[in-house]
Structure 1
């Protein structure tokens, strides 16, 4: 049986379900993610678009995109962040905090060169992004 995880915005006006397992999960340290999440690091889980379903409040979703790589989606009522579509990668980042029943198992850190909070957890620390996602593929020391 395929696992599903339910999530919602801060007020519950928008609900979503993710099904299966993420393609990748980790922590992003880039300035955009830090600013958007109002935190020193952002926990991400990347899913294929077909694994993500809005189950309630689709008409209540606002979109902001600073670049063509990231369409950040939020609840128009509470401002709660939901997910980010990444069309060039064919992936959707559902913020780990949005899906509380999902057990976030990070695989790596990305954009570690921008880190303001160093995390010593033994995971690979990518300078920017993996090569297959257009980055340098370089890792940095913890």
Structure 2
């Protein structure tokens, strides 16, 4: 599998993903909307072992937006870079997960969002006009 590169707006932070992206979705939760200043965040999951800093890791500031959820951004330009969710923050436990915004990738990720999640928190001024499935929160693995 070819690697996928990403970076922040100023180019100070650069990273590479060497494994598959998973569960690409458009997240409408209030925190993602505020972090991105947009109607939603298009994101995908990444196995932490497949995420590698190429430069500028020292420029990344981490903000714990809720217990166990850490949002990383470039402290120079403010671009969101990667979010980390601790196993303790996952209902029923789990493993550490990383999320990257699709808009920060420099290469075609080869995936497209498959759903809208946290639609219950959707911005009232935004209308979803595509045919992707919509979930009020996040679907369980059984969905």
TM-score after normalising by structure 1: 0.86
CA RMSD of aligned residues (A): 1.7
> 1:140 maps to what in 2?
none
Q: For 2:77 and 2:60, locate their aligned partners in 1 and report how far apart those are by CA, in whole Å.
A: 10
Q: Which fold has the larger relative contact order, with Cα–Cα distance below 8 Å and residues 6 or more apart in sequence?
A: 2
Q: How many residues align?
A: 133
Q: For 1:69 and 1:3, locate their aligned partners in 2 and report how far apart those are by CA, in whole Å.
A: 31
Are the aligned partners of 1:15 and 1:56 in contact in 2 as well (CA < 8 Å)? Answer: yes
> 1:98 maps to what in 2?
104
> 1:107 maps to what in 2?
114
TM-score after normalising by structure 2: 0.85
Q: Offset of 1:131 from its aligned partner?
A: 1.9
Instruction: Return 5+ residue gaps in structure 2 as ranges.
Output: 91-95
> 2:2 maps to what in 1?
3
Q: For 1:51 and 1:76, locate their aligned partners in 2 and report how far apart those are by CA, in whole Å.
A: 23
Are the aligned partners of 1:29 and 1:112 in contact in 2 as well (CA < 8 Å)? Answer: yes
